[in-house]
Amino acid sequence: MSSIRPFRTGDEPALAEVCVRTAAFGGDATGVLSDDEIWPAIFALPYVRRHPDAAFVAETDDGRVAGYIVCAPDSDEFENWFAAEWWPPHAERWPDADGRSATERDILSYANGRGRTPNPWQAAGYPAHLHIDLLPELQGQGLGRLLIETLIARLRELHVPGVHLVAPAANAGAVAFYPRVGFTPLFATSDDDRAFGRFL
Protein backbone atom coordinates (compact mmCIF):
# COMPACT_ATOMS: atom_id res chain seq x y z
CA MET A 1 0.00 0.00 0.00
CA SER A 2 1.30 3.49 -0.85
CA SER A 3 2.46 5.59 2.10
CA ILE A 4 4.01 8.91 3.17
CA ARG A 5 7.25 9.21 5.08
CA PRO A 6 9.81 11.94 5.85
CA PHE A 7 12.53 12.63 3.30
CA ARG A 8 15.78 10.76 3.94
CA THR A 9 19.27 11.45 2.65
CA GLY A 10 19.64 9.22 -0.38
CA ASP A 11 16.19 10.05 -1.77
CA GLU A 12 17.63 12.81 -3.97
CA PRO A 13 17.93 10.79 -7.21
CA ALA A 14 14.32 9.63 -6.91
CA LEU A 15 13.14 13.20 -6.26
CA ALA A 16 15.08 14.38 -9.30
CA GLU A 17 13.43 11.73 -11.47
CA VAL A 18 9.94 12.60 -10.24
CA CYS A 19 10.65 16.29 -10.80
CA VAL A 20 11.66 15.74 -14.43
CA ARG A 21 8.81 13.36 -15.14
CA THR A 22 6.21 15.90 -13.93
CA ALA A 23 7.81 19.19 -15.00
CA ALA A 24 5.88 19.63 -18.27
CA PHE A 25 2.66 20.95 -16.69
CA GLY A 26 2.35 17.67 -14.80
CA GLY A 27 3.66 15.55 -17.68
CA ASP A 28 7.06 14.14 -18.57
CA ALA A 29 9.66 16.81 -19.41
CA THR A 30 12.46 14.39 -20.27
CA GLY A 31 14.45 15.89 -23.13
CA VAL A 32 12.65 19.25 -23.08
CA LEU A 33 15.82 21.00 -21.88
CA SER A 34 19.41 20.43 -22.95
CA ASP A 35 20.07 18.83 -19.55
CA ASP A 36 17.30 17.15 -17.55
CA GLU A 37 19.14 17.97 -14.33
CA ILE A 38 18.22 21.65 -14.64
CA TRP A 39 14.66 20.95 -13.44
CA PRO A 40 15.49 19.36 -10.05
CA ALA A 41 18.43 21.72 -9.46
CA ILE A 42 15.90 24.56 -9.35
CA PHE A 43 12.62 23.06 -8.15
CA ALA A 44 13.44 20.11 -5.85
CA LEU A 45 16.99 19.51 -4.67
CA PRO A 46 17.75 22.90 -3.09
CA TYR A 47 14.75 22.45 -0.82
CA VAL A 48 15.89 19.15 0.63
CA ARG A 49 19.39 20.52 1.00
CA ARG A 50 18.22 23.57 2.95
CA HIS A 51 15.14 22.17 4.70
CA PRO A 52 15.22 18.36 4.79
CA ASP A 53 12.95 18.43 7.84
CA ALA A 54 10.18 20.06 5.77
CA ALA A 55 10.14 17.47 3.01
CA PHE A 56 8.13 14.27 2.67
CA VAL A 57 7.91 11.54 0.04
CA ALA A 58 5.22 9.22 -1.23
CA GLU A 59 6.26 5.60 -1.65
CA THR A 60 4.66 2.90 -3.76
CA ASP A 61 3.76 -0.41 -2.17
CA ASP A 62 7.11 -1.80 -3.34
CA GLY A 63 9.06 1.02 -1.70
CA ARG A 64 9.79 3.28 -4.67
CA VAL A 65 9.64 7.04 -4.19
CA ALA A 66 7.07 8.26 -6.72
CA GLY A 67 6.12 11.63 -5.27
CA TYR A 68 7.24 14.34 -2.89
CA ILE A 69 6.46 17.64 -1.25
CA VAL A 70 9.25 20.10 -0.45
CA CYS A 71 9.06 23.46 1.25
CA ALA A 72 10.85 26.62 2.29
CA PRO A 73 9.32 27.74 5.62
CA ASP A 74 10.71 31.26 5.13
CA SER A 75 10.73 32.11 1.43
CA ASP A 76 12.82 35.27 1.66
CA GLU A 77 15.52 33.51 3.67
CA PHE A 78 15.47 30.58 1.25
CA GLU A 79 15.67 32.77 -1.85
CA ASN A 80 18.65 34.66 -0.43
CA TRP A 81 20.41 31.36 0.33
CA PHE A 82 19.55 30.03 -3.14
CA ALA A 83 21.07 33.11 -4.78
CA ALA A 84 24.16 33.31 -2.57
CA GLU A 85 25.10 29.67 -2.05
CA TRP A 86 23.09 27.15 -4.03
CA TRP A 87 22.79 28.57 -7.52
CA PRO A 88 26.25 30.06 -8.33
CA PRO A 89 27.96 26.71 -9.05
CA HIS A 90 24.95 25.61 -11.07
CA ALA A 91 24.97 28.88 -13.01
CA GLU A 92 28.55 28.11 -14.00
CA ARG A 93 27.42 24.70 -15.23
CA TRP A 94 24.54 26.16 -17.26
CA PRO A 95 25.65 29.63 -18.40
CA ASP A 96 23.62 31.84 -20.68
CA ALA A 97 24.50 30.79 -24.20
CA ASP A 98 23.26 31.08 -27.72
CA GLY A 99 21.28 28.13 -28.95
CA ARG A 100 19.21 27.52 -25.84
CA SER A 101 15.48 27.10 -26.38
CA ALA A 102 13.10 29.82 -25.22
CA THR A 103 11.86 27.50 -22.46
CA GLU A 104 15.38 26.86 -21.21
CA ARG A 105 16.30 30.55 -21.33
CA ASP A 106 13.19 31.41 -19.33
CA ILE A 107 13.90 28.78 -16.66
CA LEU A 108 17.56 29.76 -16.29
CA SER A 109 16.60 33.44 -16.20
CA TYR A 110 14.17 32.64 -13.38
CA ALA A 111 16.90 30.81 -11.43
CA ASN A 112 19.44 33.57 -12.01
CA GLY A 113 16.96 36.19 -10.76
CA ARG A 114 15.92 34.49 -7.55
CA GLY A 115 16.63 36.38 -4.33
CA ARG A 116 16.68 39.79 -5.99
CA THR A 117 13.21 41.00 -5.03
CA PRO A 118 11.10 40.48 -1.87
CA ASN A 119 8.42 37.83 -2.04
CA PRO A 120 5.03 39.62 -2.20
CA TRP A 121 3.33 36.82 -0.25
CA GLN A 122 5.76 37.12 2.67
CA ALA A 123 4.13 40.37 3.78
CA ALA A 124 0.67 39.00 3.01
CA GLY A 125 1.07 36.30 5.67
CA TYR A 126 2.16 33.37 3.48
CA PRO A 127 5.92 33.20 4.13
CA ALA A 128 6.37 29.52 3.28
CA HIS A 129 6.17 28.10 -0.23
CA LEU A 130 6.03 24.54 -1.49
CA HIS A 131 6.43 22.29 -4.49
CA ILE A 132 4.52 19.01 -4.78
CA ASP A 133 4.75 16.37 -7.51
CA LEU A 134 3.30 12.88 -7.91
CA LEU A 135 3.88 10.44 -10.74
CA PRO A 136 0.66 9.38 -12.50
CA GLU A 137 0.74 5.95 -10.88
CA LEU A 138 0.09 7.56 -7.46
CA GLN A 139 -2.40 10.18 -8.53
CA GLY A 140 -6.06 9.85 -7.63
CA GLN A 141 -5.37 7.95 -4.41
CA GLY A 142 -5.54 10.84 -1.95
CA LEU A 143 -1.76 10.99 -1.58
CA GLY A 144 -1.53 14.59 -2.77
CA ARG A 145 -3.91 15.66 -0.04
CA LEU A 146 -2.01 13.55 2.50
CA LEU A 147 1.31 15.11 1.48
CA ILE A 148 -0.20 18.57 1.87
CA GLU A 149 -1.66 17.82 5.31
CA THR A 150 1.58 16.19 6.48
CA LEU A 151 3.54 19.29 5.52
CA ILE A 152 0.91 21.60 7.04
CA ALA A 153 1.29 19.78 10.36
CA ARG A 154 5.05 20.27 10.19
CA LEU A 155 4.74 23.97 9.37
CA ARG A 156 2.40 24.44 12.31
CA GLU A 157 5.06 22.87 14.54
CA LEU A 158 7.45 25.51 13.17
CA HIS A 159 4.88 28.27 13.89
CA VAL A 160 4.67 29.27 10.22
CA PRO A 161 1.50 31.37 9.70
CA GLY A 162 0.84 30.58 6.06
CA VAL A 163 2.07 28.88 2.89
CA HIS A 164 1.74 29.71 -0.77
CA LEU A 165 2.55 28.20 -4.13
CA VAL A 166 2.54 29.21 -7.78
CA ALA A 167 1.25 26.84 -10.45
CA PRO A 168 1.29 27.14 -14.24
CA ALA A 169 -2.15 28.05 -15.53
CA ALA A 170 -1.66 25.37 -18.19
CA ASN A 171 -1.55 22.67 -15.49
CA ALA A 172 -5.33 22.41 -15.22
CA GLY A 173 -5.17 19.49 -12.80
CA ALA A 174 -3.04 21.41 -10.31
CA VAL A 175 -5.10 24.58 -10.61
CA ALA A 176 -8.23 22.55 -9.80
CA PHE A 177 -6.54 20.56 -7.02
CA TYR A 178 -5.29 23.30 -4.70
CA PRO A 179 -8.68 24.81 -3.78
CA ARG A 180 -9.88 21.30 -2.90
CA VAL A 181 -7.13 21.02 -0.27
CA GLY A 182 -7.77 24.34 1.43
CA PHE A 183 -5.84 26.82 -0.71
CA THR A 184 -7.39 30.13 -1.72
CA PRO A 185 -6.67 31.55 -5.18
CA LEU A 186 -4.71 34.76 -4.63
CA PHE A 187 -4.18 36.41 -7.99
CA ALA A 188 -2.64 35.68 -11.34
CA THR A 189 1.08 36.42 -11.19
CA SER A 190 1.05 36.60 -14.99
CA ASP A 191 -0.99 35.25 -17.87
CA ASP A 192 0.85 31.96 -17.36
CA ASP A 193 0.80 31.43 -13.59
CA ARG A 194 -1.67 31.24 -10.73
CA ALA A 195 -0.92 31.78 -7.04
CA PHE A 196 -2.63 30.06 -4.11
CA GLY A 197 -2.29 30.54 -0.36
CA ARG A 198 -3.41 28.85 2.83
CA PHE A 199 -3.32 30.31 6.32
CA LEU A 200 -2.26 27.83 8.98
Domain extent listing, the chain: 3-164
CA distance between the termini of the chain? 29
pLDDT single digits (tens) 8-28 = 999 999 999 999 999 998 899
pLDDT single digits (tens) 120-156 = 888 789 999 999 999 999 988 999 999 999 999 999 9
pLDDT single digits (tens) 31-44 = 999 999 999 999 99
- Alpha carbon distance 25, 196 (integer Å): 16
Superfamily of domain 3-164: Gcn5-related N-acetyltransferase (GNAT) (3.40.630.30)
Start-end of H helices in the chain: 12-22, 38-43, 45-50, 75-81, 87-93, 102-113, 120-123, 143-157, 172-180
pLDDT single digits (tens) 164-200 = 999 888 888 888 999 999 999 987 556 688 899 999 9
**Phi, then psi, of 29 in degrees rounded to 5:** -105, 15
Of 5, 8, 36, 7, the residue nearest 23 (C-alpha): 36
What mean pLDDT, rounded, does the chain reach? 93
Task: Please name the residues in contact with 18: beta carbons below 8 A apart, sequence gap of 6 or more.
Answer: 44, 65, 66, 67, 68, 133, 134, 135
- Alpha carbon distance 192, 66 (integer Å): 27
The amino acid present at 166, given as its one-letter code, is: V
pLDDT reported for residue 193: 85
- Alpha carbon distance 20, 44 (integer Å): 10
7 touches 56 (CB < 8 A) = yes
157 touches 122 (CB < 8 A) = no
pLDDT reported for residue 191: 67
